Structures are given as structure tokens and as C-alpha cells.
Amino acid sequence: MKLQVIGDPVLHSKSPLIHGAMLEALGLDIPYTAHVVRRGELSEYLFWARENGVTGFNATMPHKEDLLPLLDEVDPAARTAGAVNTVGLRDGRWMGFNTDGGGAVEALRDGLDIDPAGLTVTLLGAGGAAKAVALALSRAGAERVFVCNRTLSRAEVLCGQDPLGRLAPAAFDADTLSGLAAGSRLLVNCTSLGMEGCPSQFESVSFLDALPRDGAVFDLIYHPAKTELLAQAERRGLKTLNGLPMLVWQAVLALEHFLGRPLDRSAMAAVATNALRGKGI
């Protein structure tokens, strides 16, 4: 049995560190390595993996969407999201899952003590991460998730893919964001604004002033650990969470799929978090 993370680029991935630590804590001698697979080489990889004892893998850029038609089965959450980040071999069949959204919901529960059920959320962005998180919040029972994006048409398309009809598209201007934030207990940043290396920052974060006093801000970015958005939210006394717990929890859920059994999720998340901290992440 071997596990891998595939992508291009992939050698910077934290998955080998996180999964390696969890597997070791479980006393399992299963290697988990990073493997470069270029766009267009997925079919060859699936053949090679089967021949070489790979029983599960995580997928990152640029493969999350391209994997769907190549797998034997794709679970409903991954199919709705149109993206797969976890693949396991079960009875000779490649099964695809998406643990990104579920990881975000677990991170919210664990890190902010927030259950999305019944919640109104302002979510910024409509890219791949936004889609996984918005759909997972809907599945978890959020009453309304406003998907606010610079390119409104992308938000409209995303919201149209929610089978539960709980997502609503919205614009990204300051007035719209403030108006929506006033009625939301949670604001989630799924844009790349504030990320290390991203040339742009939020023009204004005045929408934070509109959040209720017991409001919280979840930024999917973890590099830097504290974005300007989170620093400003903290200054206003709001609860905050960065993207590292989501990275950890999506891995915990992926490992359950790889091993085909439930794990002590909190214990695994603690092991993974400690492994990252040990490397100064």
C-alpha cells in the first residue's frame, strides 16, 4: 500500500508531512510521497499507480477537475463541486471524493465553535476554493450563503450549482459587502487577496465594521498566518481563523477515505497540526 499527492507543481505540498505524521501516529508503515504529474498525463498515472501499489492519492492543481471523467465513481459532493481532491482504490475501482469543503466545515466547528446550520454567511470569492466551501456550508444547513465576487457572473454560475438553493450571488463593492456583513455572523474569505505573492490586497475592509459583535472571520489563506484581513478583524474584537485548520481537516477526512474506516478525527487533527508547527508552519 502506498499513498501519494499528485500535481504540478507539487513538491511544495504539505500533504506528505501531514499524512506522514498521521500514519506514523496510527502505527502504519505506509509511505506517502509527492509525485509530479503534468496536465494531460492523468490516464497514464492511474495505470501506473494501479501497477505500482498506489491505493490512494490526493490531487492538487491542475488535476482536480480533469480527474472526474477518469474515475470509476465520484461521490455526490465531489460531483456537485466538479472537483476531486481525494481518490481511493476500493475493490479495484477508483473512487473520487472532495474533502476541501468538509474540511472547512470541520475547521469552523473545531476552531471557532461555529455550526453552519441556520447561519447566514458572507463568502468572498467564486473560484475553486469558494465553490467547495460554499457548497459544503449549504450542505451543512446554512440558511443563506451570499457568494460575493468581483466577476459577478462566476458567482451566479456557482450559486446555480447548489442543489439546495441556499447560495445567492452578490457583487463585491464596499456597499454590498457592508450590507450583507451586517446580517451575517460569519464572513469567509475565499479570494486570493492577502495571500503571500498575490499582487493585490483588499481596497477596503470597512465591511468588517458591519459584522455583528459576536461575528467571526475565516480566511482560507494560511501564508501569511495572519493576513491583513484577520489582523483588522482581530483589532475589531471579532473571532478569527486562518486556513491552516482547513488544510489539516481536509487531510484527516482524506485519510479516512484512504483507510476506509473512521478515525479519531480530533486526535489526528492534533497530530497533523503539531507536525506543521514543528516545521514552523
Positions marked catalytic: 64
Q: Is 164 exposed, middle or buried (0-12, 13-18, 19+ CB in 10 A)?
A: exposed
Closest CB 43 distance from ligand NAP, rounded Å = 24
Closest CB 253 distance from ligand NAP, rounded Å = 12
Residue by residue, what is the 3-state secondary structure of 42-53? HHHHHHHHHHCC
Measure the CA–CA gap between 212 and 183, rounded to whole angstroms.
8
Q: Are 245 and 222 within 8 A, CB to CB?
A: no
- Does position 226 bind ligand NAP by CB under 6 A? no
Q: Which is nearer to ligand NAP, 46 or 134 (CB)?
A: 134
Angle between helices 15-25 and 265-278 (to 10 degrees): 130
Where would I find the H helices in the chain?
15-25, 42-51, 76-81, 100-112, 128-139, 152-160, 174-181, 228-235, 244-259, 265-278
- Does position 220 bind ligand NAP by CB under 6 A? yes
Of 23-31, 68-76, 148-156, 176-184, the window that binds ligand NAP (rule: CB under 6 A) is 148-156
In 3D space, the residue among 94, 93, 92 whose CA is nearest the CA of residue 84 turns out to be: 94
- Does position 128 bind ligand NAP by CB under 6 A? yes
What SS3 class is residue 156? helix
Q: Which is nearer to ligand NAP, 195 or 230 (CB)?
A: 195
Of 10-18, 22-30, 71-79, 240-248, the window that binds ligand NAP (rule: CB under 6 A) is 240-248
Using alpha carbons only, give the angle 230, 242, 245 rounded to the nearest 5 degrees. 165
Q: Which is nearer to ligand NAP, 89 or 140 (CB)?
A: 140
Site string for ligand NAP, 88-127 (x = CB under 6 A): ------------x------------------------xxx
Within positions 9 to 68, which residues make up the interface with ligand NAP, using CB under 6 A? none
Measure the CA–CA gap between 232 and 239, rounded to whole angstroms.
11
Read off the amino acid at residue 185: R
Closest CB 195 distance from ligand NAP, rounded Å = 4
**Phi, then psi, of 267 in degrees rounded to 5:** -65, -40
Of 66-74, 76-84, 140-148, 192-200, the window that binds ligand NAP (rule: CB under 6 A) is 192-200
Q: Are 112 and 216 within 8 A, CB to CB?
A: yes
- Does position 221 bind ligand NAP by CB under 6 A? yes
In 3D space, the residue among 194, 176, 277 whose CA is nearest the CA of residue 232 turns out to be: 194
- Does position 141 bind ligand NAP by CB under 6 A? no
Exactly one of 55, 222, 240, 257 binds ligand NAP (CB under 6 A); which one? 222
Site string for ligand NAP, 151-190 (x = CB under 6 A): x--x-----------------x-----------------x
- List contacts with ligand NAP (CB under 6 A): 100, 125-130, 149-151, 154, 172, 190-193, 195, 200, 220-222, 243, 246-247, 250
